[in-house]
A and B are shown apart, each in its own frame.
Chain A
Amino acid sequence: MKKYLTAIGLEAHVQLKTRSKMFCGCSTEYGAEPNTHVCPVCLGYPGVLPVMNEEAIRLTVITGLMIGCQISRYSKFDRKSYFYPDMPKNYQISQYDKPLCAGGSIVINVDGVEKTVDITRIHLEEDVGKNMDFRDASGIDFNRAGIPLMEIVSEPVLTSPEEAYSYLQALKLILLYAGVSNCNLEDGNVRCDVNCSVRPTGQLELGTKTEIKNLNTFKGVLNALKYETNRQIDVVESGGKIQMETRRWDVDAGVTTAMRSKEEAHDYRYFPEPDLMPVAIAEKSIQKWKDELPESPLCRHKRFVADYHIPEYDAGVLVADRLVADFFDAAANVSSNPKAVSNWVMTEVMRLISEKKVCISDACVTPQALAELIELVDKGIINMPAAREVFEIMFRKGGDPKRIVDEKGISQVNDMEVIKRFIEQAIAENPESVSDYHSGKKAAAKFIIGQVMRLSKGKANPLIVTELLEKQLAGRN
């Protein structure tokens, strides 16, 4: 039994997929020149006022529905005051006591064990700008300021860094399925604050927690938590006390360090944002969004296993990419051999999309075509190498597998007489291999089979070739 228990809670700040910012019409596009996607509103100019982006509210509620939250009948925005150069108004418009969503849960799977992680709340807020260090000054770019951020807060129920990692992956998948965020980590679409504490096994009450802020990769979360939990255990082991503090993750050094203790006290002075009116989403809208909700990754996973009888492992791989899963689903649905579809998708499809750096939706092959191709293989009309060739053609140019097989003349040769002639020719041309075989080197048969395939231009049915060759060689003995 472990000597210490760990409790981890996560706050994930997710950039929502809106065209314009939370409270003004500036573009949310990533990568523009500094301070070019700004206006008086998101720069906090004197006299400006915020107006809520309806789509940001909708996307947050959809997220809430996806994870089974209660959608608030009455929600409001508040001002959270603190001074920081990347904050245009020196207060952030956020939600304090009336978030849009509360409750809900996410199911994670660590080493085959399922666990339900409770969600505390989801609220909506505006992002801040970005600072960049120069030699002896910092520069602020406000392009990101005002982009809608959804903050998803979990209960401190995760018990290991691995669980936290798995939680983030599950969360990301849900967000991608819901279509609410691009979850592009490189663009800073998901940033996490994590809190963790350790306590001796058997103790119910949680230990003193520390917070690590602004982690922008999932690996960073994993590594920072691994380091931090070990550090805390070391402190406790050596008789020390954990300080409640905010720490930062130094990726290069692989350590967490206490943030320079704030010279000024923290007091956010929340109060209701007088410039915005409360939000009360109509039951009708919620019902409509509920009806249109996409299937969750978890439901899909379960359905794939149940309906298509594919292994858990396959389902996990397929569901991890919504578009790939869509493709598989459509193909498996019309195929009599869903396991073969799964194999094809996990090998050929994934290989080609990664090689060609495209989305499955950009490829020309249709799910129906893949199902038909598998049927051709299953009926023995073509062999696997030929099928792969056909698939690559369909991936690039589309088309009907049967027609491609006909055009290329690559349908399999199953005619025993024809195959016999190829075998005889191969034996005649390779007497040494034959005598090797007879002297006990059974592997020599593989070479002869290869020669038969070569002579048949790859079209001979390998099963028939193997069977006939064995008979032939045995007969000669």
Chain B
Amino acid sequence: MSDRDKIDAGKMDVAYVARLARLHLSEDEITTLQSQLDQIIGYVKKIDQLDLSGIEPTSHAWPVQNIFRKDDVMPGIDHESIMTNAPSQISGQFCVPRIIE
């Protein structure tokens, strides 16, 4: 299916996209969102009407280049104040459920 076909088919799989976005949605939420988003996508497809051939995309409203910093070490923040924000910690590290690869 070409991109254009997909955009025409146009129905978003909300449950799939929610998994990509790491949002555990309830069935009710998915149903509501599905109808709202179908409507919104329907509207957004308006840009299909534009002839965009040969148009450069805009990523930045004010284009400048080569914005760098020098390779200088700056003090970070103290361990205490970052760990106070941690919802859970273990041995000075941020604690999460055991990661299984």
Give, as a whole number of angstroms, the nearest-CB distance from A292 to chain B: 17
Complex formed: what's the CA distance from A451 to B95 in Å?
A: 73
Contact with B along A364-386 (1 / 0, CB 8 A): 00000000000000000000000
Secondary structure type dominating chain A contacts: loop
Instruction: Return chain A residues, CB-CB under 8 Å to B53.
Output: none
A188 within 8 A of B: no
B93 touches A139 (CB 8 A): yes
B interface size (C-beta, 8 A) = 37
Instruction: Return chain B residues, CB-CB under 8 Å to A359.
Output: none
Q: Which of A142, A248, A267, A277 is B66 in contact with, Cβ under 8 Å?
A: A277
A interface size (C-beta, 8 A) = 54
Complex formed: what's the CA distance from A40 to B98 in Å?
A: 25
A355 within 8 A of B: no
B67 touches A35 (CB 8 A): no
- 9 A/B residue pairs, CB under 8 Å, sorted by A: A25-B74, A26-B73, A35-B83, A38-B76, A52-B67, A85-B94, A141-B93, A248-B101, A280-B66
A34 within 8 A of B: yes
Within 1-46 of A, Cβ neighbours of B (below 8 Å) are at: 18-20, 24-27, 33-40, 42-43
B4 within 8 A of A: no
Instruction: Return chain A residues, CB-CB under 8 Å to B95.
Output: 134, 137-140
A264 touches B20 (CB 8 A): yes
Instruction: Return chain A residues, CB-CB under 8 Å to B101.
Output: 248, 259-260
Contact with A along B41-75 (1 / 0, CB 8 A): 00000000000000000011001111111111111
Interface centre among A34, A37, A40, A248 (most CB of B within 10 A): A34
Complex formed: what's the CA distance from A280 to B96 in Å?
A: 40
Secondary structure type dominating chain B contacts: loop
Give, as a whole number of angstroms, the nearest-CB distance from B23 to chain A: 11
- What are the 8 tightest A-B residue pairs by CB atom distance, in nearest-first order? A25-B74, A139-B93, A55-B71, A54-B68, A39-B76, A140-B94, A138-B99, A272-B59
B22 within 8 A of A: yes
B60 touches A277 (CB 8 A): yes
> Known contacts being A39-B77, A260-B100, is A53 close to B67, with CB within 8 Å?
no
Instruction: Return chain B residues, CB-CB under 8 Å to A276.
Output: 67
Instruction: Using CB atoms and an 8 Å cutoff, list the residues of chain A in contact with chain B.
Output: 18-20, 24-27, 33-40, 42-43, 51-57, 76, 83, 85, 90, 131-134, 136-142, 248, 259-260, 264-265, 267, 269, 272, 274, 276-281
Instruction: Return chain A residues, CB-CB under 8 Å to B87.
Output: none
Given contacts A137-B98, A267-B20, 6 further A-B contacts (CB under 8 A): A24-B74, A26-B76, A38-B76, A43-B82, A139-B96, A141-B92
Complex formed: what's the CA distance from A34 to B79 in Å?
A: 9
Q: Which of B19, B68, B97 is A265 in contact with, Cβ under 8 Å?
A: B19
Instruction: Return chain B residues, CB-CB under 8 Å to A272.
Output: 59
Complex formed: what's the CA distance from A55 to B101 in Å?
A: 34
> Known contacts being A139-B95, A277-B60, is A36 close to B67, with CB within 8 Å?
no
Q: Which of A35, A269, A278 is B82 in contact with, Cβ under 8 Å?
A: A35
Complex formed: what's the CA distance from A273 to B74 in Å?
A: 24
Give, as a whole number of angstroms, the nearest-CB distance from B63 to chain A: 8
Complex formed: what's the CA distance from A269 to B73 in Å?
A: 32
B77 touches A133 (CB 8 A): no
Complex formed: what's the CA distance from A141 to B63 in Å?
A: 36
B94 touches A53 (CB 8 A): no
B69 touches A52 (CB 8 A): yes
Q: For A281, give the chain B residue with the smallest CB separation.
A: B66
A134 touches B91 (CB 8 A): yes
Instruction: Return chain A residues, CB-CB under 8 Å to B1.
Output: none
Q: For B96, give the chain A residue with the smallest CB separation.
A: A85
B71 touches A19 (CB 8 A): yes
Complex formed: what's the CA distance from A76 to B69 in Å?
A: 16
A265 touches B59 (CB 8 A): no
Complex formed: what's the CA distance from A57 to B66 in Å?
A: 10
Complex formed: what's the CA distance from A57 to B69 in Å?
A: 11
Instruction: Return chain A residues, CB-CB under 8 Å to B97.
Output: 137-138
